[in-house]
Amino acid sequence: MAIASISRFLSSSSLPKTHIFSLTTMLAFSISSSADKYWTHLQKNGSNVERTLNSVRAKLDTTSVTEVLDKCALNQPLLGLRFFVWAGLQPSYRHSSYMYSKACQLFDINRNPRIITDVIEAYRVEGCLVGVKAFKVVLNLCRKANLADEGLWVLRKMKEMNCMPDTPAYNVVIGLFCEKSDMNVAAELMREMGSVNLYPDMITYIAMIKGFCNAGRLEDACALFKVMKGHGCSPNVVAYSILLEGFCRFGSLERALDLLREMEKEGGDCSPNVVTYTSVMQAFCAKSRTMEALHILDRMEASGCSPNRVTIRTLIEGLCREGHTEEAYKLINKVIAGGSVSDGECYSSLVLSLLRIKKLEEAEKLFRWMLASAVKPDGLASSTMIKGLCLEGRVFDGFCLHCELEELGFLSSIDLDIYSILLDGLCQESCMAEAAKLARLMVERRIALKAPYVDNIVEYLKNSGEKDLVSHLLGIEKLY
């Protein structure tokens, strides 16, 4: 019976409750009995257990595998890991990324990497025939646990046990050393592939280029990029973007522009996308060269690629930080006319940028214009605006703005911490009628008080005779 059918069957109002209980119990028993069968078999056949596991007639799925691993984790982790490797080889089942994470967690592989070498040694001692697929399961555990040295050890053991590693196996280990920026070992492994008649693929090149870039070795990354082209492995937008990011982080922005032009010229799979363009603009803005970043936006739009809200937010922040507020308004008018980003998103970004450069008055003026023009501010802009008024000692104004947003129906995405900040401020300024109104709204919407405001708010409300209201507020906190 399909899962959806079972779900509908269980939810049927016409089905007696005793039958629902019985069916649910049967499903749970079926899953549990599968794990129990594997567990019982493992206990009886501890040595070279892989030879006999295929004889167990039981369902193999994520739930049953997890149950077996749970049973093994405490006292028999090595046996559990062998079962995990075996399960990963079965044609009817495949480990998900979640299951690799689960195995690493249950067997504490990060802090106990010795278990990786122990399982391979157990195979060797017992004379088990271990294929490439079994080694790959172990290598994927190394990848999930970020164990580069153990991954290399496993790769070496493959050769010793007459099992030649393939390109994906090398890629796992190369990727691990690239992640830890040990590019000398990664490069040596890549050269070694050629000596055993293996060829790097796109995964190999991308891992190496990214590793060199992260290590600040841009010339090596560029050289490999050229080798990649020469070996018939044409770079795609991912490879280009990684190299481009490296130039933006460690190299020359002019070289980044040259590479961007090359991508535009290549076209096809190499055409820069919105993420590519935005990353270059972010690099220019970070170097206080936002006006130049605007020219990149022009190129982006000319190539038929529309900016997104991250692009526009980046440019607005840069322009305001560098004192080009008028240019920010011009940019917003242009973007809104183009239709790629909404007016609410654009103006919300501008409000936030103005607040960051301490231009509260201008930010408030713009925010109130948005409300008057029915331009909906986002939750972050609304929250930051109210908080900014409170920090300036204008708590009552912040409360009034909150009420206005409430009337317009714009409060759905506001930061819940704002309620406690406002309530605490109103109490301190003895605006008890407004404080009680806000507290009742919090009770109605089950919004709990946030630290560090709880004690002050409770004390003020109690002293003003609102003991029942305090009880309701504290009751919300207990619910969560």
- What single string gives the DSSP state of each residue in 334-375? HHHHHTSS-HHHHHHHHHHHHHHTT-HHHHHHHHHHHHHTT-
Report pLDDT for 479. Answer: 53
Question: 411: closest CA among 438, 429, 451?
Answer: 438
- 73 and 148, same domain (yes or no): yes
Answer whether residue 16 is part of any domain.
Answer: no
Report pLDDT for 7. Answer: 38
- 42 and 160, same domain (yes or no): yes
Consecutive 10-residue runs of the chain (480 residues): their mean pLDDT? Answer: 36 43 41 78 75 84 92 90 94 94 95 94 88 95 96 94 94 97 96 92 95 94 89 87 92 91 89 94 96 95 94 97 97 94 96 96 97 95 96 95 93 89 94 93 92 92 89 75
- 134 and 87, same domain (yes or no): yes
- 76 and 161, same domain (yes or no): yes
Burial 433-470 (b: 16+ CB within 10 A, else e): ebbbebbebbbeeebbbbeebbebbbebbeebebeebb
- Alpha-carbon distance of 341 to 309, in angstroms, equals 6
- Alpha-carbon distance of 144 to 43, in angstroms, equals 28
- 46 and 156, same domain (yes or no): yes
- 325 and 382, same domain (yes or no): no
Report pLDDT for 269. Answer: 83
Report pLDDT for 34. Answer: 84
- 334 and 353, same domain (yes or no): no
- 153 and 236, same domain (yes or no): no
- Alpha-carbon distance of 219 to 253, in angstroms, equals 15
Alpha carbon separation from 31 to 35, 200, 255 (Å, rounded)? 7, 43, 59
pTM score over 0.95 = no
Report pLDDT for 26. Answer: 38
Which amino acid is residue 196, in one-letter code?
V
- 348 and 324, same domain (yes or no): no
Q: Distance between terminal CA atoms of the chain?
A: 38
- Alpha-carbon distance of 227 to 306, in angstroms, equals 33
- Alpha-carbon distance of 148 to 87, in angstroms, equals 24
Helix (H, G, I), strand (E, B) or coil at 181: coil
What total of structural domains would you count in the chain? 5
What is the domain extent for residue 106? 32-165
